């Protein structure tokens, strides 16, 4: 049963839905509690056809990769694709891949760690700057996420190298384990860099303002801290540890995107169920681990957001989990009926999830879900309005979605 519950309409369903999981399985594209509509698919040798009642699409394989994690489009239509073991590739839309770009920082590969997100500077056409997130090792058996900025120099053979690389941000402190790095990146319309920082499976750092784990961070493009950040302390050098924090109380945020109104949204994995889509508001606390719409993996309950109104509740949450990865808000014309809608990849749900927004801030709901028969790691919009997906894992494919011809 596909369940995308709105913040206002379904909080009291948490316990009953968790019980219901014992009796029914998850199915995609259905008219379940979350209001998903019916969809079917059929396969061919070249592509997979997904047919929904109103808007169908064709999923065309373009290339395959070794644990792809993120992608972004260059101005000429080529893509930069990261592979988690530590490779950055230039890929054209025919699927031809370059040799790995040189100068990529060494990554601490393992578990959920490795090379992560890649985005362009807003003025990339003139400055050629790109940003990479990755996990790096620390002293002893510790590690944490980092963000580097470098100048991408492309060569005539289709590849390139990174020059003048500088690390501009790090998770603090580095801790043991290899999970919940988060490390998704996005630039705001006014040119600030936002970084999603996971709580590294340590729970309480999400509420600890002496650490930047479990937070969404806002920086200038060079990594310096803006003085108008909500927790900036002018009496402390650099504004203090909390100065870079924009919001707190996050678990494992794996998607950041701005909508046409300039509002920031994030999605994040809940604990045992309770995945979230949040409207990210300056200075707000989203409550983890004090509240969640899911429970601990041990089965120990976590209070719902409704029990603690001082914490910001998600616009949408999922019980059962979809395990979201990647977030894109569509602005193209190719799928005209989807303009302004959010798309999330689903790992455990093996799906592409569409969320529509209402007229009020934070008003959102899952509208439909497409069964992709693979774990979807990343979602991006292409230059001509196609929707591009990366499948997760070894051999994960790059897919281009286009409207089904009449």
Catalytic residue ranges: 180
53-70 as b/e: b if 16+ CB within 10 A: eebbbbbbebbebebbbb
Enclosing H/E stretch for 347: none
Tokens at 370, concatenated = 């497409």
Round to whole Å and give the CA distance between 114 and 124: 24
The whole-angstrom separation of Cα 260 and Cα 262 is 5
**CA 390 to chain CA centroid, nearest Å:** 12
Check if the beta carbon of residue 124 is closer than 8 Å to that of residue 75.
yes
CA distance 381 to 403: 14
Residue recorded with tokens 């992709």: 372
Find out whether the peptide bond into 289 is cis, omega within 30 degrees of 0: yes
Q: In whole angstroms, what is the distance from residue 175 CA to residue 40 CA?
A: 44
> Residue 18: in which H helix or E strand, if any?
helix 14-20
Give the dihedral sign, CA 142/222/247/240.
positive
């Amino acid at each position: 049963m596909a369940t995308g519950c709105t913040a206002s309409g379904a909080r009291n369903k948490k316990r009953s839905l968790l019980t219901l999981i014992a009796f029914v399985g998850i199915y995609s594209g259905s008219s379940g509690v979350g209001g998903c509509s019916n969809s079917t698919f059929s396969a061919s040798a070249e592509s997979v056809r997904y047919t929904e009642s109103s808007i169908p699409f064709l999923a065309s394989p373009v290339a395959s990769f070794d644990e792809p994690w993120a992608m972004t489009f260059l101005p000429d239509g080529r893509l930069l694709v990261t592979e988690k073991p530590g490779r950055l590739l230039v890929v054209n839309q025919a699927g031809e891949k370059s040799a790995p770009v040189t100068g990529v920082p060494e990554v601490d590969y393992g578990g959920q760690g490795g090379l992560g997100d890649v985005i362009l500077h807003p003025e990339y056409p003139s400055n050629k700057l790109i940003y990479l997130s990755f996990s790096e090792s620390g002293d002893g058996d510790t590690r944490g996420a980092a963000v580097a900025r470098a100048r991408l120099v492309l060569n005539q053979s289709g590849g390139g190298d990174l020059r003048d690389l500088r690390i501009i941000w790090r998770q603090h402190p580095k801790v043991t384990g290899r999970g919940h790095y988060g490390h998704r990146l996005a630039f705001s319309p006014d040119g600030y860099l936002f970084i999603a920082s996971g709580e590294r499976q340590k729970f309480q750092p999400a509420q600890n303002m002496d650490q930047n784990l479990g937070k969404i961070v806002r920086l200038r493009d060079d990594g310096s801290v803006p003085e108008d950040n909500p927790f900036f302390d002018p009496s402390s050098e650099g504004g203090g540890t909390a100065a870079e924090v924009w919001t707190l109380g996050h678990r494992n945020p794996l998607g950041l995107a701005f909508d046409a109104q300039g509002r920031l949204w994030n999605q994040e994995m809940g604990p045992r169920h309770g995945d979230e889509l949040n409207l990210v508001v300056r200075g707000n606390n989203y409550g983890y681990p004090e509240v969640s719409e899911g429970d601990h993996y041990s089965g120990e309950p976590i209070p719902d957001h409704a029990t603690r109104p001082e914490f910001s509740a998600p616009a949408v949450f999922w019980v059962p989990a979809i395990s979201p990865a990647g977030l894109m808000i569509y602005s193209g014309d190719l799928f005209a009926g989807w303009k302004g809608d959010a798309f999330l990849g689903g790992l455990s749900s093996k799906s592409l999830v569409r969320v529509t927004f209402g007229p009020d801030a934070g008003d959102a709901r899952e509208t439909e879900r497409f069964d992709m028969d693979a774990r979807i790691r990343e979602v991006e919009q292409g230059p001509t309005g196609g929707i591009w997906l990366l499948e997760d894992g070894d051999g994960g494919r790059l897919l281009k979605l286009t409207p089904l011809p009449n």
